[in-house]
Homo-oligomer: A and B are copies of this chain.
Amino acid sequence: MTDTITARTTEAPHCVFDAKEFASGAHPVWCPGCGDFGVLAALERGLAKHGRPPHEVVLVSGIGCSSRLPGYMSTYGFHGVHGRALAAATGLKLTRPDLEVIVVGGDGDGYSIGGNHFIHACRRNVDMLYVVMDNRVYGMTKGQPSPTTEADWDSDIAPGGIGLRPFNPLAVAIASGANYVARGFSGDPNGLADLILDGIRWPGFAFIEVLSPCVTFRPEQSGWKKLVRPSAISVESDRAAATALVLADDGFSLGVLYRGDRAAVAPPQAPSIAVADIEREFTLA
């Protein structure tokens, strides 16, 4: 991350932590080799660098393999129902702007059942980070095509492939108003940790799409490590240009794609009246 970027962050770190302090110690249910391990490591490292203590951080998630992540961190967590993590996080952050709110989940949770909350979270621009572990499959339910699955990926439920052009989360995020859009790779936890730190500190709604292979149902995704390249996407503050970039990209360029300058939703105002003042409205005098 360049100096310019750091200079625009909203908060400076107030103390320094070790990544290990962000681990809960619980043993992940993930299959050995699952990409989500890399994302967990990146979150621990990114948060350690960020410097806020675990109790000031809340990880919010829905349902899926990836959504199990909050239990593996030493922070507060909210493991809600499938697809609604962004909504819960919105209520939380709007009432507790003092907390660091990070939403995590999968492509099914976020782009399928959670799609409406995704586009509206982008639009609402509440100051939080959303990390999607995209493995282009519903892992938890044992391998069905998700919105980001390739059209021709064969599965029991869609023999021969689902036949639909995959959902483009980055294009949709930009069109919907996200203020920060990046792509990371679970196989590069340090690079991802930097993106996470950057996204946390960027004002408004920051979205990081992470390529996070499902070794069990999409073993061919182990080839992703050869496809990713860290630079082709450049930071663009222009939505049209950023869209053009992302539409032209093959989906394997990593880095920050877009950073906007929308102000995040403001915290609630300080109380200016008491309930008793309101009651007067009903009197008849």
Contacts and interface: CB of A to CB of B under 8 A. Distances in A.
A119 B244 contact: no
Interface string A136-178: 0000000000010000000000000001110110011011110
B172 A119 contact: yes
A276 interface: no
Contact of A175 (B163, B164, B241, B243): B243
A82 interface: no
B123 A167 contact: yes
Contacts of A113: 116
Contacts of A265: 163-164
A5 interface: no
Interface residues of A, number: 32
A113 B116 CA distance: 8
B172 A175 contact: yes
Interface of A: 112-116, 119-120, 123-125, 147, 163-165, 167-168, 171-172, 174-177, 239-241, 243-244, 247-248, 262, 265-266
Nearest to A243: B243
A148 B161 CA distance: 36
A164 B115 contact: no
Given A119-B172, A125-B164, A172-B172, 5 more contacts: A112-B120, A114-B116, A123-B147, A168-B175, A240-B244
Given A240-B248, A243-B243, A243-B244, A175 B177 contact: no
Given A115-B120, A119-B119, A119-B172, A262 B165 contact: yes
Contacts of A120: 112, 115, 147, 167
Contacts of A262: 165
Contact of A244 (B115, B163, B176, B244): B244
**8 tightest CB-CB pairs across the interface, nearest first?**
A240-B244, A116-B116, A171-B175, A175-B175, A115-B116, A243-B243, A172-B175, A240-B247
